[in-house]
Amino acid sequence: MTMPELFDMNGTVALVTGGGTHLGKAIATAYGEMNAAVYIASRRKDLCEEVAAEMRSAGLDCTGLGCDVTDEVQVNTLVSEIVRDRGKLDVMVCNAGGSATRSYIPDASITEFMTTLEMNLKSTYLCAQAAARVMIPNHYGRIITLGSIHSSLGADKRQYGGLGRSGPPYQAAKGGVLNLTRGLATELGEFGITVNCISPGQIPPPSHDEALVERWRLNNPLERTGVPDNIKGAAVLLASAAGDWITGHNLVVDGGWSTW
**For the chain, which domains are there?**
3-245 (3.40.50.720)
Q: Mean pLDDT: which of 41-55, 147-161, 199-213 is highest?
A: 41-55
Question: What are the pLDDT digits (tens) for 139-192?
Answer: 999 999 999 999 999 888 888 877 778 889 999 999 999 999 999 999 999 999
Q: What mean pLDDT value characterizes the chain? A: 96
| Cα-Cα-Cα-Cα dihedral sign, residues 72, 100, 19, 142 | negative
Q: Exactly one of 31, 39, 125, 170 is catalytic; which is it?
A: 170
Question: Which pLDDT does position 140 carry in this prediction?
Answer: 98
Q: At a CB cut-off of 8 Å and minimum separation 6, what does 117 contact?
A: 169, 172, 173, 176
Question: What are the pLDDT digits (tens) for 102-125?
Answer: 899 999 999 999 999 999 999 999
- 170 a catalytic residue: yes
Question: Which pLDDT does position 156 carry in this prediction?
Answer: 85
